[in-house]
Structure formats: structure tokens, C-alpha cells
């Protein structure tokens, strides 16, 4: 049974993340900058009294996940872009993770966007303790394929724990032979991805998203000082390049040096293998006695 105080923190984080997600989706439009949306959504979360579980992800068209603008980013949304907005908030380390997709001022990919949304809602409607993770993957896959698209086989949902965004349990988007089942009290993020392309992603390009791993092994004083500050500020959660400008003057080279030192991990962008267009929808749920509660 989940402690009542912990439950309240998960629910509050979910409410704040959902509000920020909806706020960001409403403001995405042609000519609006990626940076403006990212900063506006992150400010919305902080103003509501939560903290950021990870940088706002703005993954456009064939980019399925893992992109946030740098501090000096000059990218702007264009008419026809398919934008995945992925948002994370936490209250005292208890995380809500949620995403939605919007097409900028056109409707060429409405069916694709609906496919990932419908797959998510079908899972939410029937999930319960004892349900196999492979069955969730089958439902997601069948739903997306019935619409003429491909689920992304090497992206998955995940369990959540305090200050841990990916806590060990993977929720597949395709049928899976795992014998793992959901259990009452678990907190998981369900996130179907639908694609017009290959149905799998490859790693390419810099995302501007990082995560602390360890103190650097060699005796570079500057790198060790930066690593200590990153650990203190961001704990185990992912962080953005633009969050570091106040204490790392040359963020691009400073962070690259820390990646080489093994002190931080740099997430790559995840791009559809055939450069197909990708949609995503995501909710965080708490598994209850006879179903689930959506926190986001």
C-alpha cells in the first residue's frame, strides 16, 4: 500500500505536469521558438511549486524523443511540423511524466497523432494488477497497426521511483515475451509512439540533455568542480545544457569534456530509422486494486 503522503506528492506532481503540458501545446505555433516554449513550460512547473524531473523535450517530425533547445538555440516551429512535447515534474522526488503531440497549423498527420493517443487510452482503460507487460505491448501495437502505422519497437514506457525516472521496469510498445506483470502500488509511465517510417529509432545528434554519472576519475580541477555542482543541483535526474550557463561559462565544451571524462552521460537524439514522422502520447499512472489512477 502506498503511503498517503507519497500518494499526494505523486498526484500533485501529475496535476502540475498535465497543466504544463496543456499550456505548452496551446502555445506552439508557426514562428514560435523552441526555446520560448521550453522556458515557458519549465517556468509554469516551477511557478506551480514543483521541480523539473527532466528538461522539456521538443521532438519534431522524425525525432521521436530526446531533444531540448540549447541556451542560444535559433530554431522555430514551422507550419506542418509534428511536435512531441514531453514534460516531467516532481514533488520531493516523486515524478510525473507526460507527453502529447500537436501538428502546427495543418492536419496532414491527424490520423498518426490519433493512433498514439488511442493506444494510450486503450491501455489506461484496461490496465490492472496482474496484467502482463507483454499484453500492454500487444494492445499498443495492435491499435497503432490497425490505423496503418508502426509502433516504435525500441522505445518503451517505464516505471518511476523517487528521483529515478527510469526505475528498471520497461513497458513495451510491441508484443513481448517478458513474464513481468504490473503490481498494485507501482507507478509507471505508459507512452506509445506511432511512426510512418521504420518503427524503430536510431541514435543521432546532440540532444542538449545530460545526466550525472560519477565524479571524473582524472585530476582535472575544473571538471571536478563542475561535476560537484551538477550533482548538487540535479541529483540523478536529467538536466539541460541551458540550465548550466550560470556556472559553466562555455557550456558546449565544458559539458563535452565531462562526457569524455565519464562524469556525465549525454543523451543522443532518437530518430526514426527511415526518417518517418513520429507521434507520442504519455500518461503516468498509479496501479490501483482494480485498475489505475492517471496522475497526468
Note whether 295 and 15 are within 8 A (CB). Answer: yes
CA dist., res. 222 & res. 15, Å (int): 40
Catalytic residues: 86, 97, 158, 166, 191, 282
Pairing type for strands 157-159 and 170-171 reads antiparallel
Provide the terminal-to-terminal Cα distance of the chain, rounded to the nearest Å: 21
**Burial (CB count within 10 angstroms: exposed 0-12, middle 13-18, buried 19+), residue 79:** exposed
Strands (E), 69-186: 82-91, 94-103, 150-151, 157-159, 170-171
CA dist., res. 257 & res. 253, Å (int): 6
Note whether 165 and 94 are within 8 A (CB). Answer: no
CA 11 to chain centre: 18
Note whether 213 and 238 are within 8 A (CB). Answer: no
Note whether 193 and 64 are within 8 A (CB). Answer: yes
Amino acid at each position: 500500500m502506498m503511503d498517503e503522503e507519497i500518494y499526494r506528492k505523486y498526484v500533485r506532481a501529475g496535476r502540475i505536469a498535465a497543466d504544463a503540458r496543456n499550456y505548452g501545446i496551446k502555445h506552439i505555433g508557426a514562428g514560435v521558438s523552441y526555446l520560448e516554449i521550453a522556458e515557458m513550460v519549465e517556468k509554469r512547473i516551477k511557478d506551480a511549486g514543483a521541480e523539473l524531473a527532466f528538461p522539456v523535450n521538443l521532438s519534431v517530425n522524425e525525432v521521436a524523443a530526446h531533444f531540448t533547445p540549447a541556451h542560444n538555440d535559433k530554431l522555430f516551429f514551422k507550419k506542418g511540423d509534428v511536435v512531441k512535447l514531453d514534460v516531467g515534474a516532481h514533488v520531493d522526488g516523486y515524478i510525473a511524466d507526460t507527453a502529447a503531440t500537436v501538428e502546427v497549423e495543418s492536419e496532414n498527420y491527424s490520423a498518426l497523432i490519433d493512433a498514439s493517443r488511442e493506444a494510450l487510452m486503450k491501455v489506461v482503460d484496461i490496465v490492472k494488477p496482474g496484467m502482463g507487460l507483454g499484453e500492454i505491448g500487444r494492445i499498443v501495437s495492435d491499435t497503432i497497426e490497425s490505423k496503418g502505422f508502426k509502433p516504435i519497437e525500441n522505445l518503451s514506457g517505464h516505471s518511476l521511483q523517487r528521483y529515478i525516472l527510469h526505475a528498471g521496469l520497461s513497458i513495451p510498445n510491441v508484443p513481448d515475451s517478458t513474464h513481468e506483470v504490473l503490481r498494485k502500488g507501482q507507478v509507471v509511465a505508459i507512452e506509445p509512439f506511432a511512426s510512418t517510417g521504420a518503427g524503430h529509432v536510431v541514435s543521432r545528434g546532440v540532444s542538449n540533455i545530460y545526466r550525472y554519472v560519477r565524479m571524473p576519475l582524472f585530476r582535472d580541477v575544473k571538471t571536478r568542480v563542475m561535476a560537484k555542482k551538477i550533482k548538487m543541483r540535479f541529483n540523478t535526474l536529467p538536466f539541460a545544457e541551458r540550465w548550466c550557463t550560470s556556472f559553466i561559462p562555455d557550456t558546449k565544451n565544458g559539458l563535452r569534456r565531462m562526457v569524455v571524462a565519464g562524469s556525465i552521460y549525454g543523451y543522443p537524439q532518437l530518430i526514426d530509422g527511415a526518417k518517418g514522422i513520429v507521434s507520442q502520447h504519455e500518461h503516468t499512472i498509479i496501479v490501483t486494486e482494480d485498475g489505475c489512477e492517471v496522475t497526468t
